[in-house]
Amino acid sequence: MATKSEKLLDDLQEARQRTLQLVEDLDDEQMIGPRLAIVNPLRWEIGHVAWFQEYWLLRHLCGRSPILPDGDALYDSAKVAHDTRWDLTLPQKSDTIAYMMRTLDDVKRHIGKRVSSASSETEYFLSLALFHEDMHGEAITYTRQTLGYPPPQLTQSKHRSQTEAVDPIASGDAFIPGGSFLMGNTAEEGFVFDNEKQPFHVSLQPFAISRTATTNAEYLAFVDDAGYKRRELWSTDGWQWRERVGASHPVYWRFEGGEWWRRNFDEVVRLEANLPVLHVNWYEADAYCRWAGRRLPTEAEWEMAASTEPGSNRKLKFPWGDDTPATSQANLDSHAMGCVAVDALPGGDGAHGCRQMIGNTWEWTSTDFLPYPGFVAGPYKEYSAPWFGNHKVLRGGCWATRSRLIHNTYRNFYTPDRRDVWAGFRTCAL
């Protein structure tokens, strides 16, 4: 039987194959793209993925010398400001891919020698490099959406119908009884991101949360009711954002020929009523809630709804239990290459009756991204700490999130103006 480190090395190989497939059809010009505040030049992004793997696995763990003499100056995200990444003298795509493969080959050779006696430290940094690449793979998919590129062609993808078992559920809310709750990652073994530590007790009042994410049809009613023009529905910051960008509907929607459409990568499709609304930012979600007489859940409420069972103190890794996500339970891993209907995948229902709390779309919460009590930064100190205070927490993952990465306690975080990411929301009763 393979050791955990051997499995992680295999996963790194698969992740690298996925990264290369995500950019395989793009030429050097597309791999740079326009200078935008919300995405990276993709040629920089894939080089950074390789550099991060080299830095932690070859240089930190194995004491190797840098492969590229100027690698730190090009790819260290903590030191290379975002706006300058288009100005760098980046290697061509083919040279960048050669660097990626050289790095992976060296990792397999040098780390592979020690897997039979690998320490928890080795497993930690293998996991860190793997999950880092998984996150950037998801970022590449929303960059392709942002830039209007075609959807990536992935050999692992399946036709949507293979993941879309539908079992309509009653509309409305699931009632969560509240009470004392242990929040945060309670795993005793394995990799845990620093912002999920340390578990701590919270006490929640009873609340009601929608069984499904907000749909395009539900959000369209807000748009049609002049929701973007009514100042009373928006926070001060939200209204300033709306005026600054001139928003009157979600970013990829358009109204033509008496119908609503949305751009999906490089195609325009009719707006699908029963898909979750997507590419809305926190300000938009917050304004919708005011219009609907609802509110966003706190991240503690979201986690309680996803990971608890009535009458039990057991905490679940996933809404359905502790088993690794299956395609009948969650829309993950880019299998569907997009969202499925909000009433699909009944096998993933949580004990309280909520559907798709894992996968399909990230879900905004009302909570600011802050450290848990007793927070201690991990070795990769730039992962969480620099972003505390000015980001909002999202939960649950989206269709492009890797199943090995996501779980009930995973915390994602973006600034409230971001609507390029695969994010929607569900709501709570007031």
pLDDT at site 1: 67
Residues 310 and 384 in one domain: yes
Q: Could you tell me if residue 121 is inside a domain?
A: yes
Q: 71 lies in a domain?
A: yes
d(C-alpha 288, C-alpha 249), whole Å: 11
Location of structure tokens 């609503």: 260
pLDDT at position 4 is 87
CA 356 to chain centre: 14
Question: Is residue 261, in this structure, part of any structural domain at all?
Answer: no
69 and 206 both lie in a single domain: no
Is there a domain that residue 113 lies in? Answer: yes
Task: Give the whole-number percent of the chain exceeding pLDDT 70.
Answer: 95
Last residue of a domain, one of 94, 125, 146: 146
Q: How many CA atoms lie within 13 A of 390 on its CB side?
A: 5
What's the token pair of residue 401? 């999130």
Residues 6 or more apart in contact with residue 301 via CB below 8 angstroms? 176, 204, 207, 209, 365, 428
> How far, in Å, CA of 175 to CA of 237, rounded?
31
Mean pLDDT over each residue of the chain, to the nearest integer: 94
| pLDDT > 80? residue 395 | yes
Statement: residue 159 has pLDDT above 50: no
Q: Which of 126, 146, 166 is the last residue of a domain?
A: 146
> What Cα–Cα distance (Å) separates residue 51 from each residue in 59, 75, 111, 159, 303?
10, 6, 16, 34, 34
Q: What is the rounded CA–CA span in Å between residue 271 and residue 217? A: 8
Q: Which domain holds residue 14?
A: 4-146
Q: Is residue 400 part of a domain?
A: yes
Residue 75 has pLDDT above 50, yes or no: yes
286-305: average pLDDT: 98
Do 140 and 171 lie in a common domain? no
Q: Does the pLDDT value for residue 164 go beyond 80?
A: no
How high is the pLDDT of residue 166? 63
Q: How many residues does the chain have?
A: 430
pLDDT band at 170 (very low <50, low <70, confident <90, very high): low
In this prediction, what percent of the chain has a pLDDT beyond 90? 90
Same domain, 139 and 173: no
What average pLDDT does this structure show over 121-147? 97
In a domain, 197, yes or no: yes
b (16+ CB within 10 A) / e for 113-150: eebeebeeebbbbbbbbbbbbbbbbbbbbbbbbbbebe
The backbone torsions φ and ψ at residue 207, rounded to the nearest 5 degrees and listed phi first, read -150, 165
Query: What's the pLDDT band for 157 if we cut at 50, 70, 90?
Result: low
Do 72 and 221 sit in the same domain of this protein?
no
Rg, C-alpha atoms of the chain: 21
User: Residues 310-330: what's their mean pLDDT?
Assistant: 94
Q: In what order do the strands lie in the sheet with 259-264?
A: 253-256, 259-264, 267-270
Could you say which of 81, 115, 146 is where a domain stops? 146
Is the residue at 99 inside a domain? yes
Residues 361 and 232 in one domain: yes
Candidates 93, 103, 100; CA nearest to 25 is: 93
Amino acid at 415: T
Residue 162 has pLDDT above 50, yes or no: no
**Within this chain, do residues 357 and 376 fall inside the same structural domain, yes or no?**
yes
Assigned domain for 60 exists: yes
The pLDDT tens digits for 268-288 are: 999 999 999 999 999 999 999
Phi, psi of 229, deg, nearest 5: -105, -5
Read off the pLDDT band of 156 (50, 70, 90): low
Q: Which residue has the tokens 């938009």?
A: 284
Which amino acid would we find at residue 230? R
Average pLDDT over residues 293-315: 95
Confirm if 350 and 357 have CB atoms less than 8 A apart: yes
Give the model confidence (pLDDT) of 35-73 as tens digits.
998 899 999 999 999 999 999 999 999 999 999 999 999
**Residues 105 and 202 reside in one and the same domain:** no
Instruction: Pick the most confident of 113-122, 160-169, 354-363.
Output: 354-363
Say what the pTM is. 0.96
Report pLDDT for 327. 95
Residue 333's CB is within 10 A of a number of other CB atoms, namely 25
> Residues 327-350: pLDDT tens digits?
999 999 999 999 999 999 999 999
Q: Which of 399, 407, 411 is closest to 333 using CA atoms? A: 399
Cα 279 to Cα 200, 218, 264, distances in angstroms: 32, 15, 11
Residue 417 confidence (pLDDT): 98
Q: Are residues 280 and 234 in the same domain?
A: yes
Overall domain count for the chain: 2
Burial class (CB in 10 A: 0-12, 13-18, 19+), 43: buried
CATH number for position 294: 3.90.1580.10
SS3 139: helix
Q: What CATH number corresponds to the domain at position 140?
A: 1.20.120.450
Per-residue model confidence (pLDDT) at position 35: 94
Q: What is the mean pLDDT of residues 378-402?
A: 97
Residue 221 and residue 74 in one domain: no
CA gap 337, 158 in Å, rounded:
8
pLDDT confidence band for 352 (50 / 70 / 90)? very high
Give the tens place of pLDDT for each residue, 118-131.
688 999 999 999 99
Residue 172 sits in the same domain as residue 138: no
- My answer on whether 243 and 126 are in the same domain is no
